[in-house]
Structure 1
């Protein structure tokens, strides 16, 4: 039979799956996180019977909007093979600073930009320590964390209640769409996710972020603006922390210098569970969003059970361990190829 008349044998499903996984290995952890999220939701529905309801599912976004914003900023930093331990403290500092300014009669149109600039300046400080003083990201961001927490205590040692209607409106206003609820804080979080995803996937800055995380030395040899890009990554992370401070202030209705303790670890865990490699160069903002929803689902299920919230930490820790192992397997397989 000639080649012109021969029938092409179709590829098997296994071959297609192997081809996809070899070319799109970075998506495997994201799909794994999505599978875990769906499994948690289905298990919750099977056990409780009223878990998959619009009100419960809407609360995943309403209650974790601030964490979602932090996760977007953290994704930028981790993609460069860095880390930022200051985001929880920056959230507390900007929140208590904003609450103090509002209590003294400063207009909200001034307060919110000041909170964002405050977060961006701390991010810039961390980036400068890393790039120009050759300080390890862990140590530099630890210094930023202590500085931000100290500034929070300097502003006030006690809680400051927020009574400004414009800030409270961000959380109290609920848009009801066929039983689904969405607040302005949720809208802000989704817009941040969309902006982060678009920047990383469709801009030169985003491609440079991935290049630096993949191999910083090669990125320098290619003439990419490594210093400027890494500085901007930490500034973006700090700005997101400042914006999360705005959202968290609306959510709590007050500022408190001890807010956000441990939030940086929750943020890193959500980003890693969402598929971003701690070694940098691979990951997606949408994956980080899935990681936040996994965290929120576990917290909600434990609340339904009436168990202590310490089980949330235990469960997230176990998942984090599994995903770190998965990441190591992917990295080693990619190295062999």
Structure 2
């Protein structure tokens, strides 16, 4: 009986520690999200004030942030999931290039339509996610090495399929990808005084729906809470009865699914494919996740933060370009400075956590 009571007390202590840890994580998440949103608003407001003549005072400029980054938003959501569990995936750029090239070849030469091309993209993304997730979760291989191999594999397969850059020549797909959703009562006046409605790509609607779904999964389901628990402390998660291996596998599988959707949205936007397609996309997604408040050490992250991380990075690069600098390294320097700021901020949070534990 005494042993049973001690066991029960230990279990209760573990549950209490988990709740406290989750409360801290939520506080850290809210703090990092506030910083990201504030930074985005500040940069955008300053760009309107000082660069209004460059088009930043136009409503369409705001919507273009979403039009240009719809695919990145979806892929960055997948990266946020695996980073929350304490893992990483740098294969998404290679899988995106493979999705674009394979879908174009099938659309042009094998009478694929929009839906069959979408199924192909999802199959490629899920295959990458399942294989890499199995190697990482069940064979305990290093995520960086496994996904690095996945990146090389994806681009190698692209070279086998088609060496040169190719374009979509499917009339139905081109017509659908070229269509835009006109937003009523919102727009800008041109120089002639004519009112032009703002336009939004259909891929943006898909990206925003996925952001909402991912937020619900992470915050309202047992699967999402398992991601946070494993990333926060895998040993404590194991003691609570969470299947750590399966959770890590599910994280990479979900990342692969989102990479498939994001890769198809990338094709939907660019309508082209090549070996060099989406070069650096994985780093852009990781950077957006970090700027959005996802800790590199795992356990903390917010999907809406990832969304604003993409937008903040996008508006910062637009500002640097609009200033007039033709040097290609300035956008990269700007992104590096933002990353350093948020990594230092995350280090302070991690140090505070360690101090509180002591």
TM-score (norm 1): 0.90
User: Alpha-carbon deviation of 1:215?
Assistant: 0.5
Mapped to 2, the partners of 1:197 and 1:117 lie a distance apart of 24
User: Does the Cα contact within 8 Å between 1:169 and 1:250 map onto a contact in 2?
Assistant: no
For residues 235-266 of structure 1, the C-alpha deviation after alignment (integer angstroms, 9 at most, x for no partner) is 11112112122111121121112111111111
2:214 counterpart (147, 171, 196): 196
Q: Give 3-state SS (helix, strand or coil) of 1:52's partner.
A: coil
User: Alpha-carbon deviation of 1:107?
Assistant: 2.8
Is 1:85 matched with 2:90? yes
1:326 counterpart (345, 348, 352): 345
User: Alpha-carbon deviation of 1:168?
Assistant: 3.1
Mapped to 2, the partners of 1:112 and 1:26 lie a distance apart of 34
- Gaps (5+ residues) in structure 1? 1-19
- Of 207-216 and 132-141, deviating more is 132-141
C-alpha change, 1:75 and 1:169, in structure 2 (3 Å) is farther
Structure 2 partner of 1:30: 33
User: Alpha-carbon deviation of 1:110?
Assistant: 1.4
For residues 293-318 of structure 1, the C-alpha deviation after alignment (integer angstroms, 9 at most, x for no partner) is 01110122233223234322111111
Structure 1 partner of 2:77: 72
Mapped to 2, the partners of 1:163 and 1:201 lie a distance apart of 42
Q: Give 3-state SS (helix, strand or coil) of 2:96's partner.
A: helix
User: Alpha-carbon deviation of 1:170?
Assistant: 4.9
- Counterparts in 2 of 1:73-152, with a 5 A limit? 73-104=78-109, 105-152=111-158
User: Does the Cα contact within 8 Å between 1:170 and 1:184 map onto a contact in 2?
Assistant: no
User: Does the Cα contact within 8 Å between 2:101 and 2:274 map onto a contact in 1?
Assistant: yes
Is 1:297 matched with 2:315? yes
1:278 counterpart (296, 301, 317): 296
User: Does the Cα contact within 8 Å between 2:129 and 2:254 map onto a contact in 1?
Assistant: yes
Mapped to 2, the partners of 1:110 and 1:22 lie a distance apart of 41
C-alpha change, 1:184 and 1:22, in structure 2 (3 Å) is closer
Mapped to 1, the partners of 2:317 and 2:62 lie a distance apart of 12
Structure 1 partner of 2:17: none
C-alpha change, 1:173 and 1:142, in structure 2 (3 Å) is same
Mapped to 2, the partners of 1:271 and 1:86 lie a distance apart of 15
C-alpha change, 1:133 and 1:84, in structure 2 (3 Å) is same
Structure 2 partner of 1:183: 201
C-alpha change, 1:22 and 1:246, in structure 2 (3 Å) is closer
1:212 counterpart (230, 243, 266): 230
- Gaps (5+ residues) in structure 2? 1-22, 188-197
User: Alpha-carbon deviation of 1:225?
Assistant: 2.1
Is 1:261 matched with 2:264? no
1:246 counterpart (255, 264, 274): 264
Mapped to 2, the partners of 1:222 and 1:23 lie a distance apart of 19
User: Alpha carbon RMSD of aligned pairs, Å?
Assistant: 1.7
For residues 65-115 of structure 1, the C-alpha deviation after alignment (integer angstroms, 9 at most, x for no partner) is 111011111111000000001011110011100001101122332121111
C-alpha change, 1:88 and 1:74, in structure 2 (3 Å) is same
Is 1:40 matched with 2:43? yes
Q: Give 3-state SS (helix, strand or coil) of 2:199's partner.
A: strand
C-alpha change, 1:22 and 1:253, in structure 2 (3 Å) is closer
Mapped to 2, the partners of 1:129 and 1:157 lie a distance apart of 29
Aligned residues: 318
User: Does the Cα contact within 8 Å between 2:25 and 2:299 map onto a contact in 1?
Assistant: no
Structure 2 partner of 1:11: none
TM-score (norm 2): 0.85
